[in-house]
């Protein structure tokens, strides 16, 4: 594991493989870089791939107070390490961070995002606000298990799913990552697509969703991610909208790597 130092002194851990134009992978909620790791060998034959743990996750450090601007600086440090420019892929809430970074003017060649969970109707925005309030209170009292349960309910998990997660071997790792749920919430702002900021992105953006609902997100309204993706695409000056057939919220790396490679190339 290699580290780069962000502007505020925070060490950001990443792994690098391959050769060719640089591609940086950005994970979403409750991810320390593991979710994107299978994409690395699939892309490394054509690209120099950097997969990192966002601040507060894995071997990366954390420096309070948190701000989205600091996460953008983390990505900027990685782009510098990659040679000064890179294409960037963001999954789920990591896609919101990537879009904010592109809007901020980072030297990004192309952007790709997958199933960014913006809210496309006012009912969902109200639920999002309630979630953020509950999450803030739970984390302030260090009730990490409650914070995780709130997140899972928001994402459409059933109570049985939550109970099964609590009894699973990966629950302790999720508890360690629970404070970073606040970071993902900050990246998504009030939950609505930031239309004005998206309009400032001049680089090409690939906006993707899967064609199959995730079985762990059965409580989400049908079409949730597609509606968000359509709203993102409509706000961007240079967007390509694509549905990746047969994929759910965590796409098959072999299938999705080809989608990314074709776009980034």
Domain map (residue ranges) of the chain:
2-119+193-264, 122-184
Q: Where are the alpha helices (DSSP H) in the chain?
A: 39-43, 68-81, 93-103, 122-140, 144-154, 159-166, 171-177, 181-188, 195-198, 224-235, 253-264
Over the chain (265 residues), the average pLDDT of each successive run of 10 is 97 98 98 98 98 98 98 98 98 98 98 97 95 98 98 94 96 98 98 98 98 86 95 98 96 98 97
Residue 214 is predicted with a pLDDT of 86
Largest Cα–Cα separation, the chain: 47
- Residues forming beta bridges with residue 18, ordered by sequence position: 48
Q: Are strands 239-244 and 205-210 parallel, antiparallel or unpaired?
A: parallel
- CB neighbours of residue 205 within 10 Å: 26
Residue 216 is predicted with a pLDDT of 82
What is the four-CA torsion angle of 39, 23, 202, 236, rounded to 10 degrees? Answer: 10
* Cα separation, 37 vs 42, whole angstroms: 10
Q: Which residue has the tokens 């899967």?
A: 210
Task: Decide: 30 and 181 in contact? Cβ < 8 Å.
Answer: yes
Task: Decide: 38 and 52 in contact? Cβ < 8 Å.
Answer: no
* Cα separation, 180 vs 117, whole angstroms: 16
Residue 215 is predicted with a pLDDT of 83
* Cα separation, 142 vs 151, whole angstroms: 15
Residue 219 is predicted with a pLDDT of 83
Residues 2-119+193-264, CATH architecture: 3-Layer(aba) Sandwich (3.40)
């Amino acid at each position: 594991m290699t580290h780069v130092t962000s502007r505020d002194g925070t060490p950001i851990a990443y792994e690098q493989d391959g050769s060719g134009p640089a591609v940086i992978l950005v994970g979403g909620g409750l991810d320390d870089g593991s979710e994107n790791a299978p994409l690395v060998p699939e892309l490394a034959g054509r690209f120099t791939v950097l997969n990192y743990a966002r601040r507060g996750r894995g071997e990366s450090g954390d420096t309070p107070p948190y701000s989205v601007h600091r996460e953008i600086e983390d990505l900027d440090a990685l782009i510098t390490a990659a040679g000064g420019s890179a294409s960037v892929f963001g999954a789920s809430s990591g896609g919101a961070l990537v879009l904010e970074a592109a809007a901020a003017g980072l030297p990004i060649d192309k952007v790709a995002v997958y199933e960014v969970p913006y809210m496309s109707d006012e009912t969902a925005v109200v639920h999002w606000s309630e979630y953020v309030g509950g999450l803030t209170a739970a984390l302030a009292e260090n009730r990490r298990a409650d914070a995780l349960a709130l997140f899972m309910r928001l994402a459409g998990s059933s109570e049985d799913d939550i109970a099964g997660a609590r009894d699973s071997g990966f629950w302790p790792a999720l508890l360690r990552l629970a404070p970073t749920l606040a970071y993902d919430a900050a990246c998504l702002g009030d939950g609505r697509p930031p239309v004005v900021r998206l309009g400032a992105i001049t680089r090409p953006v690939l906006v993707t969703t899967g064609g199959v609902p995730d079985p762990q997100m059965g409580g989400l309204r049908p079409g949730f991610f597609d509606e968000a993706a359509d709203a993102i695409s409509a706000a961007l000056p240079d967007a390509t909208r694509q549905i990746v057939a047969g994929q759910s919220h965590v796409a098959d790396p072999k299938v999705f790597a080809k989608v990314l490679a074709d776009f980034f190339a």
